[in-house]
Structure 1
Amino acid sequence: MFNITRKSIEWGHDTLTLETGKIARQADGAVVATYGETSVLAAVVFEKQPKEGFDFFPLTVHYQEKYYAAGKIPGGFFKREARPTEKETLTSRLIDRPIRPLFAQGFKHETQVICTVLSHDLENDPDVVAMIAASAALTISGVPFRGPIGCARVGFVDGDYILNPAVEDMDKLRSNPEQRLDLIVAGTRDAVMMVESEAYELSEAEMLGAVKFGHDQMQPVIRMITEFAGEAAKEPFDYQPPEYGALFDKVKGLGEDAMRAAFAITDKQERQTAISAARETIRSGLSEDELADKNLGPAIKKLESKVLRGDVIATGRRIDGRDLTTVRPIVAEVGLLPRTHGSALFTRGETQGLVVTTLGTGDDEQIIDALHGESRSNFLLHYNFPPYSVGEAGRMMGPGRREIGHGKLAWRALQAVLPAATDFPYTIRLVSEITESNGSSSMASVCGGSLSMMDAGVPLKAPVAGVAMGLILEDDGQFAVLTDILGDEDHLGDMDFKVAGTESGITSLQMDIKVAGITPAIMEQALAQAKDGRMHILSEMGKALSEGRTEFSAHAPRIETMNIPTDKIREVIGSGGKVIREIVETSGAKVDINDDGVIKIASPNADAIERARAMIHSIVAEPEVGQIYTGKVVKIMDFGAFVNFFGKRDGLVHVSQMAAGRIGHPKDLIKEGQEVKVKLMGFDDRGKVRLSMKAVDQTTGEEIKEEA
Structure 2
Amino acid sequence: IADMTVKFPETKTVSFQVMTLMEETIYGLARAHILDKRVRADGRKTDEIRPITIQAGFLPRTHGSAVFTRGQTQTMATVTLGTPEDKQILDDLEGRSLDKFMLHYNFPGYSTGEVRPDRGPGRREIGHGALAKRALVHLLPSEDLFPYTIRIVSDILESNGSSSMATVCGGSIALFDAGVPMKGACAGIAMGLITDGSKHAVVSDISGFEDHFGDMDFKLAGTAKGITAFQMDVKLATGIPIAILKEAIAQATSGRNHILGVMNDHLSTHRAEISKHAPGIAKLMIAKDKIGQFIGPGGKNIRGIIERTGADIQVEDDGSIFIACTDRVKLEAARAMVAYYTMEVEIGKTYTGRIVSIKDFGAFVEILPGKEGLLHISEIAHQRVQRVEDVLKMGEEVEVKVVDMDSAGKIRLSRKALLTPEKR
Q: TM-score, normalised by structure 2?
A: 0.88
Give the structure 1 partner of residue 226 of structure 2.
505
User: How much does 1:598 deviate?
Assistant: 2.1
Moved more, 332-341 or 625-634: 625-634
Matched, 1:386 2:75: no
Contact 2:378 2:385 in 1 (8 A): no
Superposition deviation, residue 620 in structure 1? 3.7
Q: 1:247·1:290 contact (CA, 8 Å) conserved in 2?
A: no
Q: Residue 562 of structure 1 corresponds to which residue in structure 2? A: 284
Unmatched tracts of structure 2, length 5 or more: 6-10
For 1:2-45, what per-residue CA distance to the aligned partner results, in whole angstroms no more than 9, with x for missing partners? xxxxxxxxxxxxxxxxxxxxxxxxxxxxxxxxxxxxxxxxxxxx
Amino acid at match of 1:514: K
Match of 1:439 in 2: 161
Higher RCO (C-alpha under 8 Å, 6+ residues apart): 2
SS in 2 for 1:543: helix
Q: In structure 1, how many angstroms separate the alpha carbons of the residues matched to 2:402 and 2:300? A: 30
Task: Label 1:667 to 1:569 Cα distance change in 2 as closer, same or farther (>3 A).
Answer: closer
Alignment of 1:366-515 (within 5 A): 366-476=88-198, 478-515=199-236
Q: Which amino acid aligns with 2:161?
A: G
Provide, for residues 533-552 of structure 1, a one-character-per-residue CA deviation record: whole Å limited to 9, x for no partner: 11111111112222222222
Question: Compared with structure 1, are the counterparts of its residues 669 and 344 closer, same or farther at alpha carbon in structure 2 (3 Å cutoff)?
Answer: same
Q: After TM superposition, give the deviation of residue 342 of structure 1 in Å.
A: 1.0
CA separation of 1:330/1:293 partners in 2, compared to 1, >3 Å: closer, same or farther?
closer
SS at match of 2:225: coil
Preserved contact between residue 677 and residue 697 of structure 1 (Cα < 8 Å): no
The 1:611–1:412 alpha-carbon spacing in structure 2 relative to 1, beyond 3 Å, is: same
| TM alignment of 1:304-703, pairs within 5 A | 304-476=26-198, 478-516=199-237, 517-574=239-296, 577-635=299-357, 640-655=362-377, 657-658=379-380, 661-662=382-383, 664=385, 671-684=393-406, 687-696=409-418
Distance in 1 between residues matched to 2:417 and 2:243, nearest whole Å: 81
* Aligned-partner Cα distance in 1 for 2:101–2:13: 53
Query: How far apart in 2 are the matches of 1:511 and 1:684?
Result: 70
1:280-295 alignment, distance < 5 Å: 292=14
Q: Specify the SS of the correspondent of 2:366.
A: strand
Letter in 2 for 1:424: F
- The answer to whether the 8 A contact 2:293-2:369 is kept is no
Alpha-carbon offset, residue 457 of structure 1:
1.6
Letter in 1 for 2:248: A
Give the stretch that moved more between structures: 676-685 or 584-593.
676-685
**Mapped partners of 1:475, 1:297: distance in 2:** 27
Alpha-carbon separation, structure 2, partners of 1:681 and 1:334: 59
Pairwise CA RMSD: 2.8
Amino acid at match of 2:322: K
Specify whether residues 245 and 546 from structure 1 end up closer, same or farther in structure 2 by C-alpha distance, changes over 3 A only.
Answer: farther
The whole-number CA distance in structure 1 between the counterparts of 2:380 and 2:27 is 96
Residue identity matched to 1:498: K
Post-superposition Cα deviations, 1:111-156, rounded to whole Å, max 9, x if no partner, equal: xxxxxxxxxxxxxxxxxxxxxxxxxxxxxxxxxxxxxxxxxxxxxx
Aligned residues with identical type, % of pairs: 50
CA contact (8 A) 1:290 1:296 kept: no
Distance 1:483 1:628 in 2: 71
SS of structure 1 residue aligned to 2:374 = strand
SS at match of 2:266: coil
**In structure 2, C-alpha distance between the alignment counterparts of 1:543 and 1:697, rounded to whole Å:** 66
Contact 2:131 2:229 in 1 (8 A): yes
What does 1:18-29 align with in structure 2 at a 5 Å threshold?
Answer: none
Task: In structure 1, give the amino acid aligned to 2:87.
Answer: E
One-letter amino acid of the counterpart of residue 481, structure 1: V
| Separation in 1, partners of 2:407, 2:244 | 81
Trace 1:74-85 onto structure 2 (pairs within 5 A): none
Instruction: Indicate if the aligned counterparts of 2:293 and 2:370 stay in contact, CA closer than 8 A.
Output: no
Q: How far apart are 1:572 and its partner, in Å? A: 3.8
Aligned residues: 413
TM-score normalised according to structure 1 size? 0.54
Counterpart residue number, 1:112: none
Deviation at 1:681, TM superposition (A): 2.2
Structure 1 residues 594 and 634, CA, compared in 2 at 3 Å: closer, same or farther?
closer
Residue pair 2:176, 2:271 contacting (<8 A) in 1 also: yes
Does the 8 Å contact 1:341/1:456 carry over to 2? yes
Deviation, structure 1 residue 613: 3.4
The equivalent residue for 2:8 is none
